[in-house]
Structure 1
Amino acid sequence: MTSPSAPPAGPGGGAGAPWEKAEAGSPPGALVAEPLRASAPGSAEAPLASRLTWLTALRLVVLTVFLIVTAAVYLGGFTPGGFSSIVALVTVAAAYGVAGIYAVFLRMNRALREISRAQLVTDQITWTALVYITGGATSGATSLYGLTCLTGAILLGLPGAIVAAVSGAAAYVMLCAALGLHLLGVPSDQPAGAYVTQWGELRYPMFVNLLAIVVVTCLASYLAERLRATGGRLVQATARAEQAERLAALGRLAAGLAHEIRNPLGSIAGSIELLRTGGTLSDEDRALCEIIERETARLNDLVGDMLDLSRPRVPALEEVDLSTTARDVVVLAGRSGRGGDVEVRYEGPSSALVAADAAQMRQVVWNLVRNAIQASSAGAIVTVRLWRDAGAWLLEIRDQGRGIPAGARDRLFDAFFTTRTHGMGIGLAVVKRILDDHGFAIEVDSREGEGTAFRVKIPDGPDPPRARE
């Protein structure tokens, strides 16, 4: 393709949306794409709601089973008017009632974390009532405190386990203190010999049970965090496998279509170039020819993007003058596409030598500049800035567009994701893959309504590249 609006050698990405994925970074409004793993703000609530629903149901089942066991083993069956029977029934009824209230909030999908913490505290109070009627400080029901600590770890990780442990330990110590200070007597229908009410005898079971709560909390938190991390890696691996499958399909499609598409595009571009320079066209006809040239160049870019994304290659590292590459792309961008109504500027040194693949770095700069132009309105300025900081070269492409929409930030560098009416969302995916292959990081700083800046960090290798200001 010989049209002057054609991209530089090996361009790859602008057919995609200007903004397709990023992660929260340190400065306000900044997004970091290294490493790629972010989730939407609401996405964490969905699994929490699911876990909370299942654990609420499981809690009621355990409570019912424990009530039956308590009645059969400790109480010898429910005794009408018996103190322990009344306490057990009231406790279980109250637990069911509170669970119903929590279920209403759960159905509304609001304040899920607050509901989770409240349920953990409620459970520990419930278990304390059952501990009281089944032997007090030495009751076997104290093991239920650890069950709630495990539940807290599953729901909220370490913070949830701590809430359960603190509330359970506090409730148990208060029960033991009430028995030791004789503020709470032995249930009238229970044998007094089954209860420990002297401080000297209370110290050992208190220490053992509190130690058990601490140990269960630590183990549950550790296992929950490991499970969560493993699940996250599994999700990432699944996503990579799905993307690899899509890229393989894209590669087969691109290989078959590239030759068939580019040949007629070249003929169209050559014919339009001859017509436009023939001197026999009116101004209106020449404007139409420019539109055709621009659209054929865009189609050529799309084919190139598909090929680049589907057939990655290992970078051939050499000494590259990044300043020259950036300035060449700026000049070309001013003559291509919307370069006529969006000004592209270069700010930086006259030379910046880095170790990289020359063609691929040219492609990265071109894709980012083209995306910035597409995100800009007429009369806006796109700035390509290059400077050195802390042993690394920083290349920034900044636009004055609308910024990245909040809903699109988590998929900014995903292939085939786009928020625009045309394009396939490939350009930034190519950028990310090339930079990953080089070991370079990319950072995105964006505020809605204030524009966006893509910042590539290229660290020095074992032999620092030379720089000439």
Structure 2
Amino acid sequence: MTMERERAAYEGAPLAARLTWLTALRLLVLTIFLVVAAFTYLGGFTSGGFSSLVALTTVAAAYGVAGIYAAFLRIRRALPSIARAQLVTDQITWTAIAYITGGATSGATSLYGLTCLTGAILLGLRGAAVAGAAGAAAYAAMCAAFVLRWIPVPPDQPFDAYETQGSDLLYPLFVNVMAIVVVTLLAAYLAERLRTTGGRLVQATARAEQAERLAALGRLAAGLAHEIRNPLGAIAGSIELLRTGGTLAQEDQQLCEIIERETKRLNELVSDMLELSRPRVPAMEPMDLAATIREVVVLASHSGRGGDVDVRYEGPATAVVVADPGQLRQVVWNLVRNAVQASSAGMAVVVGLAREEGQGYALEVRDQGRGIAREARDRLFDAFFTTRSHGIGIGLAVVKRILDDHGFSVSVDSVEGQGTTFRVLLPERVAQLDAAASLPVSERLPRSRATL
């Protein structure tokens, strides 16, 4: 799974829940800090005191704004905007606390970093950046206001505890702004790592659940495969005898063809279930992928709907790769079969193979079908997921498992109404290919051992 999918999986956790918990935590921290500051720094809340009035007004405003945010959280609208507004509000709140507890040199400036961490948790890098910019701007504005005499030193606080001259404010301004920047960068980095780890955890959990389902399927498939294949073989043999007997009318011949075709489809389904539920380690060896593709193209052209869909190969005459011949043949067959089933009569399915310098070979299976909806592409290789009315979604899951076992990648490019392209990248294995090149041709290019 790509990094984007991992991140999306982690970000599936509701933003509203994180906002609710962090809003409650913010109010708790604010209240505790103000109470501690009031009784240790202000000497308690005094009636009519300037600093006490600012402190109480700050608490009341913070709770009032929190109530507004809570109303938006209930309707779950514009949550990212609410999160950014909270971050800016918090930095302004900490600036008000810093103003009454020492100004530019107040210990309350450490709370700016707390909001940067909060922003990183809520919105990642963007949230940390918004919080950091708001904190630095609010702190710089307070320092500038002291220098320009826009705000006075609180009258009930000692004047000597405040720095109001520009030369005296340069150092604390520089130190605090740099601290905010460092905390912002660190918080953004940690949040990104957390998101990545969370996404991988979700992915690992999903894989474990899928593995459990596949294990159950494997036990069921192993028990039923023999019982299913025996009657299928008997049906296929009986139908073949009836067709060659020469006593059937034309209509009966057509019915026999239908039975034979559906019997073959059931046999393929059983084979896919066994392949998916009972994986084996690939037996890596040199093989001629081009020859394998040509064999599959010929087979697809003479089976199923290959008669009314043009299946052709475009690529080199020989292409030596290192893989499990049987499993890679299964991959090509499943992709071609999927493309044929997605095509209408008269359309073409092209299996292309090309050498990409420094990357290996690129295998593409292109059809002209109706395409795949964007919302379905992320689940395309999941077991038991299908976009067709028939089938149970096993063929592409087998493809993904085999390619993952080989270390090959597969991607899908689809335009609704124009067709779909499956692209498999088989990377270079220079050392193995060089060793294979010294072998006789008959040993380097073994024929596939798989049967379809």
When the two structures are aligned, how many residues end up with a matched partner? 434
Cα deviation for residue 143 of structure 1 reads 1.4
Q: How does 1:52-201 map to 2 (within 5 A)?
A: 52-201=19-168
Alignment counterpart, residue 428 of structure 1, candidates 380, 393, 396: 396
| CA 35–81 in structure 1, closer or farther in 2 if over 3 Å, else same | closer
Residues 347-378 of structure 1 deviation map (CA, whole Å, 9 limit, x = unaligned): 22333222222211110111001111222233
User: Normalized against structure 1, the TM-score is what?
Assistant: 0.85
Q: Letter of the 1:215 partner, please give it.
A: V
> What is the Cα-based RMSD across aligned positions, in Å?
2.5
Counterpart of 2:199 in structure 1: which amino acid?
Answer: G
**TM-score normalised per structure 2:** 0.88
Counterpart residue number, 1:449: 417
Distance of 1:240 and 1:304 partners within structure 2: 22
- Give the secondary structure class of the aligned counterpart of 1:38: helix
What is the percentage of aligned positions where both structures have the same residue?
A: 73
- Asked whether the 8 Å contact 1:67–1:88 carries over to 2, the reply is yes
Kindly state the Cα deviation for residue 43 of structure 1 after the two structures are TM-superposed: 7.3
Pick closer, same or farther for the CA change 1:169–1:320 going to 2, 3 Å.
Answer: same
- Matched with 2:270 is 303
Structure 1 portions without partners, runs of 5+: 1-33
Deviation by residue 1:170-206 (Cα, 9 ceiling, x = unmatched): 1111111211232210122333233222234323333
CA contact (8 A) 2:383 2:393 kept: yes
Aligned partners of 2:122, 2:279: CA distance in 1, in Å? 41
* One-letter amino acid matched to 1:429: A
1:53 CA drift (Å): 2.4
By how many angstroms is 1:441 displaced? 1.9
Q: Is the 8 A contact 2:6 2:196 kept in 1?
A: no
SS of aligned partner of 1:279 = coil
1:214 partnered with 2:214: no
Matched, 1:460 2:428: yes
Deviation per CA, 1:104-139: give whole Å up to 9, x if none: 443443433333222211110111112112221122
Structure 1 residues 395, 42: closer, same or farther in 2, change over 3 A?
closer
The partner residue of 1:415 within 346, 369, 383 is: 383
CA displacement at 1:36 relative to structure 2: 8.1
Asked if the contact 1:40/1:410 (under 8 Å) is kept, the reply is no
What letter matches 2:150 in structure 1? L
Cα distance, 1:258–1:244 mapped onto 2, change above 3 Å = same
What stretches of structure 2 of length at least 5 have no aligned partner? 442-452
Letter in 1 for 2:189: Y
- Quick one: which amino acid aligns to residue 93 of structure 1? A
State the SS of the aligned residue for 2:353: strand
Measure how far apart 1:438 and its partner are. Answer: 2.0
Q: Distance in 1 between matches of 2:174 and 2:4?
A: 43
Residue type of the partner of 1:278? G
Structure 2 distance, partners of 1:99, 1:380, is 61
| SS of the residue 1:387 aligns to | strand
Which residue does 1:404 correspond to in 2?
372
Note if contact 1:39-1:410 (Cα within 8 Å) is conserved in structure 2.
Answer: no
Letter in 2 for 1:143: S
Could you report, residue by residue, the CA deviation over 1:373-409 in whole angstroms, capped at 9, with x for unpaired residues? 2222333221111222215222110111222212212
- Measured in 2, the distance between the counterparts of 1:422 and 1:377 equals 15
C-alpha distance in 1 between matches for 2:86 and 2:3: 34
